[in-house]
């Protein structure tokens, strides 16, 4: 079964992360399939707008930490190879030559949050939750887009604390465009995409190119590349907290490791087996 699905309805293309039993955790295979599907979407001249969603009750709860623990990646060089693939898929979405909309319900965390931020627009259900909690187990964001989306001060707060915010808060920060009732999510996102698709595709391509170039002129790609190098070193570094998290993951399962992590912060975010 494919982990990323592609379907087109007239001028709208829908890309679906399809691992609902794992809250669409981003495994290595899913990241590779996402890259392939995005290439299809970019080449499909019948598709003017691409909508990205998650199957089931979450957009994506982040990278598959259970799979990472089992892989036992060691050393900054090895981590750089692994993280480079993650960054490449996210930046492929960022630079897709047509408008993109993230359609978000439930958890949208870590790598999942980065995918949403890489989209041009975000429509979220009222139950959506956004954040990058990687610091809580000794890691950090893989694709550093948040400063360019919501600005410096709030990015500092969210990345230092690993806090998760609800959809209305994310909207007030500028991370989300619209918040709607869960039952209206795909309809509203589709209607927004339909309004965009009224424009000719060449005009949309050039508008998208101008907008991405504007952010890249501000240093976005340089920041992402620098962060990739630092993230590789960070993921290879040792700390007592990271060692305990990995031990619990391997010996008792990721659910136990996440519960231990969140208890340290006095909260339980309710995730089962993902970041």
Kindly report, residue by residue over 106-139, the tens digit of the pLDDT: 999 999 999 999 999 999 999 999 999 999 888 8
Residue 114 annotated in active site: yes
Which residue of the set 33, 68, 114, 132 is catalytic? 114
Count: domains in the chain: 1
Q: Has residue 270 been placed in a domain?
A: no
Q: Has residue 275 been placed in a domain?
A: no
Q: Is this model's pTM higher than 0.85 or not? A: yes
CA distance 48 to 44: 8
pLDDT-derived band at 267 (thresholds 50, 70, 90) equals low
- Is the pLDDT score of 93 beyond 60? yes
Which residue range forms the structural domain that includes residue 47? 4-264
pLDDT tens, residue by residue, 233-255:
988 888 888 888 888 888 888 78
Question: Above pLDDT 90, what percent of the chain?
Answer: 76
Backbone angles phi, psi at 152, to 5 degrees: -70, -55
pLDDT tens, residue by residue, 17-53:
999 999 999 999 999 999 999 999 999 999 999 999 9
CA distance 60 to 169: 19
Residues in the chain: 275
C-alpha distances (whole Å) from 175 to each of 54, 55, 60, 195 are 18, 21, 16, 21
Least confident of 29-38, 63-72, 163-172: 63-72
Residue 46 annotated in active site: no
pLDDT tens, residue by residue, 185-218:
999 999 999 999 999 999 999 999 999 999 999 9
Which residue of the set 33, 132, 134, 246 is catalytic? 134
Instruction: Look up the CATH number of the domain holding residue 43.
Output: 3.90.226.10
Q: Has residue 235 been placed in a domain?
A: yes
Question: Above pLDDT 70, what percent of the chain?
Answer: 93
Q: Has residue 232 been placed in a domain?
A: yes
- Is the pLDDT score of 173 beyond 60? yes
CA distance 146 to 36: 25
Q: Has residue 272 been placed in a domain?
A: no
CB pairs under 8 A, 24+ apart, for 188-194?
Answer: 188/123, 189/51, 189/53, 189/101, 189/103, 189/123, 190/12, 190/51, 192/101, 192/121, 192/123, 193/12, 193/49, 193/51, 193/99, 193/101, 194/11, 194/12, 194/49
C-alpha distances (whole Å) from 62 to each of 20, 109, 249, 273, 274 are 12, 5, 16, 10, 6
At 271 the pLDDT is 42
β-pairing, 49-54 vs 107-109, is unpaired
Work out the angle at residue 24's Cα, subtended by the Cα atoms of residues 123 and 74, and round it to the nearest 5 degrees: 120
């Amino acid at each position: 079964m494919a982990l990323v699905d592609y379907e087109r309805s007239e001028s709208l293309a829908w890309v679906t992360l399809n691992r609902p039993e794992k809250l669409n955790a981003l495994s290595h295979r899913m990241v590779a399939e996402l890259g392939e599907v995005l290439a299809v979407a970019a080449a499909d001249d019948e598709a003017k707008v691409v909508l990205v969603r998650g199957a089931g009750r979450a957009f994506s709860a982040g990278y598959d930490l259970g799979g990472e623990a089992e892989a036992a990646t060691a050393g900054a060089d090895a981590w750089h190879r692994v993280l480079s693939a993650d960054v490449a898929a996210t930046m492929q979405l960022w630079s897709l030559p047509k408008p993109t909309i993230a359609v978000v319900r439930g958890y949208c965390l870590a790598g999942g949050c980065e995918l949403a931020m890489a989209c041009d627009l975000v429509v979220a259900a009222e139950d959506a939750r956004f954040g990058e909690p990687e610091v809580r187990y000794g890691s950090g964001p893989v694709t550093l887009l948040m400063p360019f989306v919501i600005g410096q001060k709030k990015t500092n707060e969210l990345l230092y604390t690993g806090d998760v915010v609800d959809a209305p808060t994310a909207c007030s920060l500028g991370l989300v465009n619209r918040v709607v009732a869960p039952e209206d999510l795909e309809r509203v996102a589709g209607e927004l995409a339909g309004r965009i698709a009224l424009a000719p595709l060449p005009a949309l391509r050039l508008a998208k190119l101008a907008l991405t170039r504007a952010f890249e002129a501000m240093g976005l790609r340089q920041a992402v590349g620098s962060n990739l190098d630092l993230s590789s070193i960070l993921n290879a570094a040792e700390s007592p907290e990271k060692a305990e998290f990995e031990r619990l993951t391997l010996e008792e399962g990721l659910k136990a490791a996440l519960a231990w992590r969140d208890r340290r912060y006095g909260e339980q975010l309710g995730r089962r087996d993902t970041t």
